[in-house]
């Protein structure tokens, strides 16, 4: 697959929205297990080969991009920031998706305001340049956050999450990543979850440091027609750690709502 390209297979449409700092390529191991289902994954603004993004900005820019990329009537599958963006897009257009699979969505109670975030501090200090893609891959493979990732997901991130052909840099500028974290609760999606009328499923990792089962359950309960599932032996990066499970849930949804 070409870096930054839309990934497609044949049949109905499932839209796959990635998390902060990543790109469409991390969905590769999920898509590879969805033969016969039409899948679209894309790079958000400021990520991969997505449109340029310059701070300051709010998360509305990601919801607006979802509305530009998607067509009404598909299934929305989002991870972290991508899951929140899908929910925000659904609130803007209640006919946008037939079903939402929200994986560790960044949708929290108030107060809703832009604020300094510990991850913003980490992002601002992140190593953002490498001698080449192999050096970057080696760097990622030694970091705890990537230790459970499927190899295809790491390959996808190396392919579309970096720019350059000799020395390479992170496609998501650390300044952009930090700004995303600062605005992570500067939207009222939590307060409006009850307006989402389509069926939904909230997934969270049992070992996640981002979304607790209690909070995931509260998200589902606020939506009314949503279920909640806790995935054992998993952290925040479910699509990259457990692509087979995610593909299984997507296939079930496509068979039910396709």
pLDDT at position 12 over 80: no
Average pLDDT over residues 124-151: 91
The sign one gets for the Cα dihedral 159, 28, 48, 119 is negative
Query: Shortest CA distance to 128 belongs to which of 119, 139, 118?
Result: 139
CA atoms of 165 and 106, how far apart (whole Å):
33
The sign one gets for the Cα dihedral 61, 24, 11, 236 is negative
Residue 4: band (very low, low, confident or very high) from pLDDT cuts 50, 70, 90: very low
pLDDT in tens, 59-102: 999 999 999 999 999 999 999 999 999 999 999 999 999 999 99
The Cβ of residue 48 has, within 10 Å, a number of other Cβ atoms equal to: 27
Query: Shortest CA distance to 237 belongs to which of 112, 125, 82, 123?
Result: 82
Average pLDDT over residues 235-257: 94
pLDDT in tens, 199-242: 999 999 999 999 999 999 999 999 989 999 999 999 999 999 99
Domains of the chain: 13-257 (3.40.50.1820)
> Which backbone phi and psi does 164 adopt, to 5 degrees?
115, 160
């Amino acid at each position: 697959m070409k870096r930054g390209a839309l990934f497609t297979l044949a049949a109905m449409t499932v839209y796959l929205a990635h998390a902060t700092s990543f790109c469409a390529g991390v969905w590769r191991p999920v898509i590879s297990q969805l033969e016969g289902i039409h899948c679209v994954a894309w790079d958000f603004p400021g990520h991969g080969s997505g449109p340029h993004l310059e701070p300051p900005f709010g998360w509305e820019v990601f919801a607006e991009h979802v509305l530009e990329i998607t067509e009404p009537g598909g299934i929305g599958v989002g991870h972290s920031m991508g899951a929140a963006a899908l929910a925000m897009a659904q609130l803007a257009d209640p006919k946008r998706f037939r079903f939402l699979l929200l994986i560790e969505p960044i949708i929290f109670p108030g107060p809703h305001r832009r604020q300094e975030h510990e991850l913003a501090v980490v992002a601002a200090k992140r190593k953002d340049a490498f001698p080449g893609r192999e050096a970057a891959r080696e760097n990622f493979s030694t970091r705890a956050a990537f230790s459970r990732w499927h190899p295809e997901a790491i390959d996808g991130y190396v392919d579309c999450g970096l720019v350059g052909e000799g020395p390479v840099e992170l496609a998501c500028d650390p300044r952009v990543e930090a700004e995303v974290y600062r605005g992570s609760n500067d939207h009222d999606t939590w307060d409006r979850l009850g307006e989402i009328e389509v069926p939904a499923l909230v997934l969270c990792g049992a070992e996640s440091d981002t979304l607790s089962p209690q909070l995931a359950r509260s998200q589902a309960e606020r939506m009314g027609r949503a279920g909640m599932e806790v995935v054992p032996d998993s952290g925040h990066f479910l699509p990259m750690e457990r692509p087979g499970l995610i593909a299984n849930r997507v296939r079930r949804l496509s068979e039910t709502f396709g």
